Amino acid sequence: MNRGSDGNPRNGAGGGALLLAAGFSRRFGSDKRRHRLADGSSLLAASVALYSQAFPKLIVVLRPEDDELAAEVQASADGAKVEIVFCTDAIEGMGRSLAAGAAAAQAWDYLFVALADMPWVQLDTLAHLRQEMQRAGSDSIILPVKGNQPGHPVGFGASYLPALATLTGDQGARSLVREAGHRVHRVMVEDAGVLQDLDTPPA
């Protein structure tokens, strides 16, 4: 089921971000989406606030039982256009969550895939990645790189959206990136936030 803040799907020209937040936090030991950061906001709320500022449209993928979190998502978006997608088979892996979200973005010009446990990316970095995507075109993938390490979010031009909507398993879109060859634009950044996630509780 796909719902925007007014209850209706919202697709159209332009692009946006897809925030994957349907995982089960097995390594974390509890629902890390609810983990409170130093400023008192939850991990999920911080990520929603970041990406709703950086992109004109945002899709957030949750699980069907996440009605309470869905309300938090809408409150954190501060009036931005947000669509919530409830992935019924999220237990099958990240690929299914990504596919569910990408299916709701088939009319978009590009889609940046972001992870809900990485709210530390700088707004300037996201703006730069968007600019690189708009320059690169619909057959391109934008991959932020810090040092020699690839990070997130990863941007996909429109030609990749149908393939994203068919993904399965736990590997997400890695296979698409591997097979893209010269169409992958590696964007060097100095932002450690593209690598920083929260897999285990802070000490």
pLDDT in tens, the chain (203 residues): 344 333 333 344 599 999 999 988 877 878 899 999 999 999 999 999 999 999 999 999 999 999 999 999 999 987 778 999 999 999 998 999 999 999 999 999 999 999 999 999 999 999 999 999 999 989 999 999 999 999 999 999 999 999 999 999 887 799 999 999 999 999 999 999 999 998 877 76
Q: Is residue 9 part of a domain?
A: yes
Sign of the C-alpha dihedral computed for residues 47, 127, 84 and 110 taken in this order: negative
Domain assignment present for 94: yes
What CATH number has the domain bearing residue 84? 3.90.550.10
DSSP state of 36: B
Burial (0-12, 13-18, 19+ Cβ within 10 Å), 155: buried
Of 104, 198, 102, 192, nearest to 156 (Cα)? 102
Asked whether residue 97 is domain-assigned, the answer is yes
State the residue range of the domain holding 36. Answer: 2-194
Residue 142 located in a structural domain: yes
- pLDDT number for residue 13: 58
Asked if the structure places residue 200 within a domain, the reply is no
pTM equals 0.89
Q: Which residues are CB-contacts of 88 (< 8 A; sequence separation ≥ 6)?
A: 64
Q: Could you give the number of structural domains in the chain?
A: 1
Distance CA 153, CA 16 (A): 11
Q: Give domain status of residue 201, yes or no.
A: no
- Residue 202 covered by a domain: no
